[in-house]
Amino acid sequence: MKFKLTVSCSFLLGPLFLSVLFTASQAHAAPKIEQWQTSNGVKTLFVAAPELAMLDIAITFDAGSGRDADLNGLSQLTHRLLNTGSGALDADAIAEQFEDVGAQYGSSVNLDRSSIALRSLTDAALLKPALKIFIDVITKPSFPEKDFLRLKNQALIAIKDSEQRPADMASRAFYKSIYGSHPYANPALGFKETIELISLDDVKNFHQQYLVATNALITIVGGIDVGQAKKIAEQVAVNLVQGAKPETLAQPQSSKEVADIYIPYPSQQAHVYLGQLGIQRGHPDYFTLYVGNQILGGGGFTSRLVKEVRVKRGLSYSVYSYYFPLQQPGPFTLGLQTRNDQAHQAAEVSLETIKNFVSEGPTAEELASAKNNITGGFPLRIDSNRDILGYLSLIGYYDLPLDYLETFADKISAVTEDEIRIAFSKHLQPKNLVKIIVGGPESGANQNRQEGGEQ
């Protein structure tokens, strides 16, 4: 008997500000989160979701691309190799065994963390073998050399393609300008030079160092009770090598020089980024900045940036801003695309809009609208295991309070105009924003700039 389920695992690492929105009519109560530690100390978060006979489980490690050291791309390559071999099984056999029991496997990597996920039906005849394969893939990978070489080559092709995409060029230059030599400066995909340097021993050493019990978080959502969840978590955890927890990543330092970079590229549109260092996940000003950014550039057509850049001047189809908090301060980012000959003007209008918002703060009407938009759409009732699992990974990894979802709307509602003005004055300095423009020759007109690519 064969079942086949399809699920994307990118949800585990993607939320910028927990911005998945649902309608107010869906909101009843936040899911009840149970937390415990396994016998070997692995923190576990669980939400019972009895509506479907489905189970989602993820193991999150402090093993994102920030742990690559000098071998950028190592974490992603390691995680992509996990399901290519275990014991006598090769990649095809592993995929077939997952498919035979209706299970789906996936992994993802971002700057801070990696997550490896399994979705399975809860029927014991299907769940038991699915869990065994899942555990074997994570704890006993064979790392076949032929697959190592194949995936290295795929990474090199992906990097070459990325180097021809202006959006990726702008993003790389943006992160490099903000983070300098800090690990956050580097893309998870890596660079040609670093991928070529990675050996199979490097992959094995990364796995042995970071995919260990002391560095793990288990999250479970599904149609089982807490007793069953504890047994599953224990089964997963005891198969992990105990290992040692890595040191916390260093704090990034703000650059003394403000980058103003123009990268010529023969594209139809210019890609523009403005930004600087933002805040860490769990910062006390998080909710204030979230509400404020909803007004500035996170609220779509109701945001000031859209009104000033698109509606009033027609300079861009879309313009946005967001904070992306991480283990260490993540970036504040403003992004837009525009015609090459309008890039400088669009950047200046965006900068002026930020200046005005920082100095004046929001109006009462803007604040009320933003609060209604956020609280009216916040997912107090989440209708899929996958979404809840993403929240649990975020809450568990960053040590956020277990009542985070329950209190979210109240904390949003409590934000005031003065708090937004004060928080933005403290965390956002318009004169220190880096500016990156990638585009055709007109994009760089009349700009004081540093040419020649990423610095």
Per-residue pLDDT tens digits for 222-275: 999 999 999 999 999 999 999 999 999 999 998 878 899 999 999 989 999 999
Nearest residue to 143 (alpha-carbon basis) of 205, 82, 207:
82
The confidence score (pLDDT) of residue 442 equals: 67
For residue 409, count CB atoms less than 10 angstroms from its CB and return exposed for 0-12, middle for 13-18, buried for 19 or more: middle
Does residue 214 form part of some domain? yes
And the tokens for 303?
Answer: 């945001």
The confidence score (pLDDT) of residue 256 equals: 78
Same domain assignment for residues 132 and 78: yes
Same domain assignment for residues 231 and 189: yes
**DSSP for 71-99?**
STTHHHHHHHHGGGEETTEEHHHHHHHHH
Instruction: Give 342 or 387, the one with higher predicted confidence.
Output: 342
Summary mean pLDDT of the chain: 91
> At residue 12, does pLDDT exceed 90?
no
The confidence score (pLDDT) of residue 385 equals: 86
The confidence score (pLDDT) of residue 263 equals: 96
- What is the average per-residue pLDDT within 312-322? 96
Does residue 142 form part of some domain? yes
- What is the average per-residue pLDDT within 136-150? 98
**Count of the separate structural domains present in the chain:** 2
Q: Compute CA distances 313 → 316, 317, 345, whole Å.
A: 8, 11, 10
Domain that holds residue 163: 31-237
Nearest residue to 52 (alpha-carbon basis) of 119, 125, 128:
119
| Tens of pLDDT, residues 362-418 | 999 999 999 999 988 776 546 678 888 999 999 999 999 999 988 988 999 999 999
- Give me the helices (H) in 180-324, please: 192-197, 200-210, 226-237, 286-293, 304-305
Does residue 38 form part of some domain? yes
Does residue 434 form part of some domain? yes
Q: Which distant-in-sequence residues (6+ apart) come within 8 Å of 339 by Cβ?
A: 269, 270, 442
Highest mean pLDDT: which range of 27-31, 299-303, 443-447:
299-303
3 state DSSP class of 374? helix
Nearest residue to 259 (alpha-carbon basis) of 15, 436, 8:
436
| Tens of pLDDT, residues 123-133 | 999 999 999 99
The confidence score (pLDDT) of residue 443 equals: 67
Largest CA distance in the chain: 68
Same domain assignment for residues 37 and 145: yes
Does residue 132 form part of some domain? yes
Last residue of a domain, one of 202, 237, 272: 237
| Global model pTM greater than 0.75 | yes
Same domain assignment for residues 202 and 293: no
The confidence score (pLDDT) of residue 384 equals: 77
* Residue carrying structure tokens 């789906």: 104
Strand partners of residue 87: none
Same domain assignment for residues 107 and 176: yes
Does residue 165 form part of some domain? yes
> At residue 217, does pLDDT exceed 80?
yes
Question: What CATH number does residue 367 fall under?
Answer: 3.30.830.10
Does residue 183 form part of some domain? yes
The confidence score (pLDDT) of residue 382 equals: 61
